[in-house]
Amino acid sequence: MTPRPAVICFAGPRDRYQSALALQENHALEALVTEAYFGKFWAETGLAGQNFHRFAKARHHPDIPATKAVRSPGAFVRTLRARFDRRKDSPHLAIADRLLGEKAGQVALRRRAPLIGYSYYAAAAFRMMAGSGLPRILFQVHPNGKYLRELFRQEIEKVPEARASLMEEAEMSPLFAANDEACAMADAVICASTFTRSSLAAAGSVAPAHVVGYGVDLDVFTARSAAPSAKPLTVGFVGALSQRKGARYLLGALAALPKGAARLILYTRAAIDRDLIRGFASVDVELRSGLSDTALAADIRRCDLVALPSIAEGFGLVILEAMACGVPVLCTTSTGGADFIRHRRNGLLIEPGSVAAIEQELAWALTHRDELFQLGQAARAEAEKHTWAEYRRKFFAAYANVIG
């Protein structure tokens, strides 16, 4: 029996629309509430110019009809203004999140439908739905904000050089503090990792939580057939170089290796925090930006390993993307990788916050290139279990379980 259709709320092409698609392909999508979504015509035509076409194409999925989308013009305008602001704690972004959540609450109440609200928008919607008897399901994207604030404060004391980097995180801004209220109002929670679920429990959440790990596109992130030929150990890092992602721990470990033994390739569009990298001039760093998924996959395949030594990560899609390329990942137990990486069997798994732990694994990798390549082969085999189709199956099963 198909559970009653739900309203789902998130901005942008979050998770490649896979959560909404999970509902749609099971005839359980009442509405997708978002700031912008386009039909087939605008996604495929270039009549309005290349930039608009690129934007419209990214905000369209061929299997989710535009008639299912309910848009919030106010949230869209505020999101555009936030792009020019560029701060993670932009007040425009906070207002956009609230407006989108309120739109979702209105739609759920009007249609008498359950709501799945992503954690940026859920609190505003859940407050509106109080006393309605309608199920309120929280999709917790990142670890709980209250948990993260305490973690970041401890990290600032431990690594003062990282203060600016950590204070830029949205969770440290009072503008987004209301997001923390959602878990107390939720009837159930869906999250992408056991680590995220544990952060909710640590913050006092008692709602039942279902872990549904993300997937990877195996047709884009294809496996390599041979080990890299470059002599220095090539370490890839994808995303903003921030202390949240363990930047100074990774740089410290690379600096401790013999000169010329390793190099870091940084794949990012974000500006580099000079305070964060101060003292690591000896590290060989190459910056690459603006790559498509296909180009990124091709580049990752030339790395010996990919590192994501985060102190807190909701999941870390790059973990599965690198593994699908046949490249082993060095990550921490504070990421989604802890749910499927087995240390020195299909990757390298360490505790967060340790230069010594990262250095030890990099030193091992330097002298065990053949074993490292075999880890990558095992990583690909594991990644093949984590398709987006499998994600959708588990997501819908979690929703059906909550609704009963």
Quote the number of domains for the chain: 2
Residues 317 and 394 in one domain: no
Percent of the chain at pLDDT > 90 equals 88
Phi first, then psi: give them for residue 360, nearest 5 degrees: -60, -40
Residues 167 and 38 in one domain: yes
Q: Does residue 230 have a pLDDT over 80?
A: no
Separation of alpha carbons 184 and 207, rounded Å: 8
Residue 52 lies in a domain: yes
Residue 71 lies in a domain: yes
Separation of alpha carbons 166 and 155, rounded Å: 8
Residue 225 lies in a domain: no
Residues 370 and 306 in one domain: yes
For 171-185, the pLDDT digits (tens) are: 999 999 989 999 999
For 160-213, the pLDDT digits (tens) are: 999 999 999 999 999 999 899 999 999 999 999 999 999 999 999 999 999 999
Give the three-class secondary structure for 88. Answer: coil
For residue 140, the surrounding DSSP H or E stretch is strand 136-140
Residues 180 and 203 in one domain: yes
For residue 32, the surrounding DSSP H or E stretch is strand 29-34
Rounded to an integer, the average pLDDT of 235-246 is: 96
Q: What residues make up the domain containing 43? A: 6-215+388-403
Residue 299's CATH number? 3.40.50.2000
Q: Does residue 88 have a pLDDT over 80?
A: no
Rounded to an integer, the average pLDDT of 101-127 is: 98
Residue 85 pLDDT:
79
Residues 175 and 316 in one domain: no
What is the average pLDDT value for the chain, to the nearest integer? 95
Q: Does residue 51 have a pLDDT over 90?
A: no
Residue 144 pLDDT:
96
pTM of the model: 0.95
Q: Does residue 52 have a pLDDT over 80?
A: yes
For 309-321, the pLDDT digits (tens) are: 999 999 999 999 9
Residues 251 and 135 in one domain: no
Residues 373 and 399 in one domain: no
Separation of alpha carbons 349 and 134, rounded Å: 41
- Close Cβ partners of 224 (under 8 Å, ≥ 6 residues apart): 301, 325, 326, 327, 376
Residues 192 and 273 in one domain: no
Q: Does residue 44 have a pLDDT over 90?
A: no
Rounded to an integer, the average pLDDT of 371-389 is: 98
Residue 68 lies in a domain: yes
Q: Does residue 87 have a pLDDT over 80?
A: no
- Decide if 214 contacts 335 (C-beta within 8 A): no
- Residue 269, class by beta-carbon neighbours within 10 Å (0-12 exposed, 13-18 middle, 19+ buried)? exposed
Residue 198 pLDDT:
98
Residues 260 and 158 in one domain: no
Confidence at 338, pLDDT banded by 50, 70, 90: very high
Phi first, then psi: give them for residue 390, nearest 5 degrees: -70, -40
Residue 113 lies in a domain: yes
Separation of alpha carbons 130 and 100, rounded Å: 17
Separation of alpha carbons 256 and 260, rounded Å: 11
Residue 289 lies in a domain: yes
Residues 275 and 399 in one domain: no
Residues 51 and 35 in one domain: yes
Residue 275 pLDDT:
83
Residue 62's CATH number? 3.40.50
Residue 251 pLDDT:
98
Residue 356 lies in a domain: yes
Residue 228 lies in a domain: no
Q: Does residue 86 have a pLDDT over 80?
A: no
Residues 238 and 147 in one domain: no
Please choose, from the candidates 102, 228, 217, 244, the residue with its C-alpha nearest in 3D space to the C-alpha of residue 236.
228
